Structure 1
Amino acid sequence: MEPVTTGLSVERVGPSVLGGGLLDMLLSVDGERLPGSAARGVRRSRRAGPPWQPGSWRGLSTTTREAWLSLAFHLREPGPDRSGGVYHLDGRAVEDAAGLHCALGAALNGPGGYYGRCWNSLRDCLGGGFGVARPFALVWHDFAATERELPEVVDPATGRCLPEDVARLLEQWGVTVVRA
């Protein structure tokens, strides 16, 4: 049997605060070496800098798109919000909720941009501090295609389906949504 590489390193070992001959260990992990890590390729590509091509998240698995969103959140550049303007979301390649959030982040903050990774974080972004502040306009191209892809994805807070609930939420917060 071959040994399993975990990527864990022992940083410190010492007597446990619980006593009784127990030991406390401090372990560290290199995320790149975690087996089965869906984010491995995303982290590797993001190390070279943000993606410059729109839609770089397309074709990734749902788990990898979720990792993409997590990295986009942690790697975003803080700066002042900008309001106004017209932004364009390409709804043709949205296959799941993570893809919708990737598309929204890219539409509002450029390739690899972040504007929420779940329902609650989208609401947080609409409150300001994440690049684009309301009011602004979002032209959602191929809205009907997004609706066909996501008919069963439901917002647990409202019970409504994507993407219509996202469009309504944006409108409730003062965003003009054009369903094209």
Structure 2
Amino acid sequence: MTQTYVLDGTAITTLEDFWRVVGEAVNGPGGYFGRNLDAFADCLGGGFGTPDDRDFVFEWRDHDTSRAHLGHAETARQLESRLARSHPSHRAEFTAQLAEARAGRGATVFDWLVDIFEERAPNALRLR
């Protein structure tokens, strides 16, 4: 039987909110299912925090609300944070991505998350 994890899109206004919501959906209050993009990908692909039953789907309800909140402004905020703590060899890349986000162009945080779902758990995401 397929296990369905429901993500309340109205509760996701930042990437940090997403980590909380997805963690609680899978593992209950205070639950963990990644707190950065790499850890999230690991969890989806079979790393720490992955449900024992690999037959699962995530139903992201009100995803359009999340999509709006996880748009270019949130992307710029996340990239500013990455830039501040990045290795000098990555600064040019993050600076270029940040300029694109500030201009309202390029992939957004929402896009990053959907891409990870598609790559690590194909067909496991249902946008509602």
Give TM-score scaled by structure 2 length.
Answer: 0.65
Q: CA deviation at 1:168?
A: 2.2
Q: Which residue of the partner structure matches residue 110 of structure 1?
A: 28
**1:21-100 equivalent positions in 2, closer than 5 A:** 84-100=2-18
Q: For structure 1, list consecutive stretches of 5 or more residues without a partner in the other structure.
A: 1-82
Q: 8 Å contact 1:109–1:131 — kept in the other structure? A: no
Higher Rg of the two aligned structures: 1
Superposition RMSD in Å: 2.6
Q: How far does residue 105 in structure 1 lie from its aligned partner after superposition?
A: 0.6
Verify: 1:138 aligned to 2:58, yes or no.
Answer: yes
What's the TM-score once normalised by structure 1's chain length?
Answer: 0.47
**Structure ranking higher on relative contact order (CA contacts 8 Å, 6+ apart):** 2
Distance 1:171 1:84 in 2: 18
**Which structure has greater helix proportion?**
2
Provide structure 2 residue ranges, at least 5 long, that are not aligned to the other structure. Answer: 80-93, 98-105
Q: Percent identity?
A: 28
The equivalent residue for 1:163 is: 110
The total of aligned residue pairs comes to: 98
Q: Note the alpha carbon deviations across 1:4-38, whole angstroms, 9 max, x for none.
A: xxxxxxxxxxxxxxxxxxxxxxxxxxxxxxxxxxx
Cα distance in structure 2, aligned partners of 1:174 and 1:125: 10
Residue 95 of structure 1 deviates from its aligned partner by: 1.7
